């Protein structure tokens, strides 16, 4: 029988006085096979655990990096909406410029129109005011729109109504039916805003300047 003995196996079995020999050689083979099997098993387990640690674990609640973008909300009134923000990111305001159609004034022989602004999503800082400017325009017989009279201006809160709007007014020369419109410009106080202007719908008014 071929001798099969290792020094480290004898060291493990020193308590029983192991020594190299045919009988002990068989015992050594069995022990080595078992140790080899245990080593392979531990190697496999180590590979499995290291792979699991490298992969993201959604079930464990670990954060997964995502990117989202917010869409600009549509205007509640269907009119053009402005966006403004100043140097501080907190001062963001989605606002709506608005105005009524030019009409005959209830007091005097004149054309009149009003402009205001709204905060439909309540995004503007509390107490925000805006300088609202309204310019009335009439269409000439050549089809060209021209400014009529001086612009009206007021510094007001959002919402409109008689207390929060700017008024444009032009005296009539005669009652010839004429197309009118107004241009409303809103400048938020302390907050930079785009130069957009709102044009009110055209209206036929018995007033010629």
CB atoms within 10 A of CB 101: 15
113 and 200 assigned to the same domain: yes
pLDDT tens, 179-195? 999 999 999 999 999 99
The radius of gyration of the chain's CA atoms, rounded to the nearest angstrom, is: 43
Query: Does residue 104 have a pLDDT over 90?
Result: yes
Domain count, the chain: 2
* Residue 194: per-residue pLDDT: 92
pLDDT confidence tier of residue 92, bands split at 50, 70 and 90: confident
pLDDT digits (tens, 9 = 90+) for 57-78: 433 333 322 222 233 444 444 4
Residue 91, pLDDT score: 62
pLDDT value, residue 36: 54
34 pLDDT above the threshold of 50:
yes
Q: What pLDDT does 81 receive?
A: 55
Token reading at 170? 């032009």
Q: What is the mean pLDDT of residues 105-127?
A: 96
Q: Measured between alpha carbons, how far is residue 66 from residues 44, 61, 71 in Å?
A: 34, 14, 16
Instruction: Decide if 72 is inside a domain.
Output: no
186 to each of 98, 165, 194, how far by Cα in Å? 9, 11, 9
Residue 74: its pLDDT value, please? Answer: 44
Judgement on whether residues 48 and 102 belong to the same structural domain of the protein = no
Residue 175, pLDDT > 50, answer: yes
pTM of this structure = 0.60
In a domain, 59, yes or no: no
Statement to judge: residues 97 and 185 lie in one domain: yes
Residue 132's nearest CA partner among 117, 112, 111 is: 117
Q: Average pLDDT for residues 37-61, to the nearest whole number?
A: 53
With a cut of 80, say whether residue 137 has pLDDT above it: yes
- The answer on 14 and 102 residing in a single domain is no
Task: Tell me how many degrees the CA angle 99-104-105 measures, rounded to the nearest 5.
Answer: 85
Tell me: pLDDT of 109 over 90. yes
Same domain, 40 and 134: no
Mean pLDDT value across residues 145-158: 98
pLDDT of residue 86: 43
Range of the domain at 174: 81-208
Q: Does some domain include residue 97?
A: yes
pLDDT at 67: 24
**pLDDT of res. 75:** 47
* 179 and 110 belong to one structural domain: yes
pLDDT at 164: 98
Are 29 and 117 within one domain?
no
């Amino acid at each position: 029988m071929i001798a099969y003995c290792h020094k480290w196996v004898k060291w493990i079995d020193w308590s029983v006085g192991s020594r190299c020999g045919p009988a002990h050689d068989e015992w050594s083979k069995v022990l080595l096979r078992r140790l080899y099997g245990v080593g392979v098993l531990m190697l496999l387990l180590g590979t499995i655990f290291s792979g699991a640690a490298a992969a993201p674990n959604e079930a464990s609640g670990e954060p997964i990096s995502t990117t989202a973008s917010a869409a600009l909300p549509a205007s509640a009134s269907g009119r053009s909406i402005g966006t403004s923000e100043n140097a501080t990111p907190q001062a963001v305001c989605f606002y709506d410029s608005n105005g009524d159609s030019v009409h005959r004034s209830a007091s005097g022989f004149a054309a009149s129109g009003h402009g205001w602004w709204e905060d439909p999503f309540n995004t503007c800082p509390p107490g925000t005011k805006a300088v609202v400017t309204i310019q009335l325009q009439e269409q000439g017989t050549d089809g060209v729109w021209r400014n009529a009279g001086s612009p009206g201006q007021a510094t007001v809160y959002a919402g409109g109504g008689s207390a929060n709007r700017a008024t444009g007014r032009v005296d009539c020369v005669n009652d010839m039916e004429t197309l009118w419109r107004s241009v409303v410009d809103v400048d938020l106080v302390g907050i930079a805003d785009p130069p957009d202007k709102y044009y009110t719908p055209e209206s036929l008014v018995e007033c010629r300047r």
